[in-house]
Chain A
Amino acid sequence: MKIFRGSGPQSPTPAQASPRLTRRSSGLGELTRVWDAGENLCILDLGSTSANNIRFFTGRGHKIYSEDLLVASTDASLLTKDEEGNPVLDSRKFLADNLVYPAAHFDTILCWNLPDYLDESLVKPVVGRLWSVLKPGGMLLAFFHTRDAGPDSPCFRFHIVGPDVLEMQRIVLRRETRRGPTGAIHTAVSDGFQLQRVFNNRHIENLFRDFASIKFFLARDNVREVLVVR
């Protein structure tokens, strides 16, 4: 597993608008078949608040829960130190404030690219909590970069626009505008969320070892889609 461990975002402000890219998702296609066959399902979306996603699920008669865990992980009060004095995030406090749901509550959880960008100290505790709030037989979808991804890989938010089609929108947390020496206006964009690691297949299997089954889909854009079943 490649680890990049960059510094997190400095200003946890909501995402701003940026152009959208379209990609087909095999994992989403499989889940859509489940959603179309089910009634009054509970879905947890762990990405940025998306009007598209809310409309997609409520239009099918399902309940959608929205919780942006990446933004939640930027809470300054989470900063603490481990036994060796290294800065880490307090996973207990994080789980006391986030992902607070009854056990076996959700039919589907959409992680998107969360594990790749979440702070190291939170990944395993969060996956453990997700297992507990997922119903037996429930499914979780997550995206992982392949080994070709570098630390500057942009972080995207995902909007469902079709049964197996996603729009990806680069997350922009900070946009700074300055006037240069010639008087021209320059705009610098800060992504804020840095790719923390690249998992290999074995590490992904280990991360989801408490789940009953795991399925991999490899896409052309060097993203592995992973569908796990509790």
Chain B
Amino acid sequence: MSAPSVGLAQIGKSVVIKGELSGSEDLYLDGQVEGSIALKGNSLTVGPNGSVRASVEAKGVVVQGKLEGNVQASDRVELRKSAVVTGDIATQRISIEEGAYLKGKVDIHRTEVK
């Protein structure tokens, strides 16, 4: 995946955050975060330099870097080939590229369309 597009909230690779991170917009994270990340209704992308040690709640999650923590995505999770994920994933859909590493559970629950 290439660099994030304009208009996306970004955390650069030199940034280190410890604590609760929440928001109502999509987030591209290429730095270090420890704590929790809540982006209900929005997407999180962990860039190739990103290192996350946090529980994650979002609509969609794309991982290219390192993520240690449980992931709850109401829509979709994508693990790219450079992803290293340790934790449980609960989502509706999941996509895993060749080369991605996962240590944890995958639980798919589909929301019924009314």
Contact = CB atoms under 8 A, between A and B. Distances in A.
A51 interface: yes
Given A17-B98, A51-B96, A54-B94, A67 B106 contact: no
Chain A contact surface mostly: mixed
B106 A51 contact: no
Interface residues of A, number: 16
A170 to B, nearest CB: 13
Nearest to A42: B105
Given A54-B94, A58-B94, A63 B99 contact: no
B101 A63 contact: no
Interface residues of B, number: 16
Contacts, number: 43
Contact of A63 (B94, B97, B102, B105): B105
Chain B contact surface mostly: strand
A167 B84 CA distance: 23
Contact of A49 (B96, B107, B108): B96
Contacts of A66: 102-106
B11 interface: no
Contact of B105 (A49, A65, A68, A71): A65
Contact of A58 (B97, B99, B106): B106
Interface of B: 84, 94-108
19 contacts: A14-B99, A14-B101, A15-B99, A49-B100, A49-B101, A49-B102, A51-B96, A54-B96, A54-B106, A58-B106, A58-B107, A63-B106, A63-B107, A65-B104, A66-B105, A66-B106, A67-B103, A71-B101, A72-B103
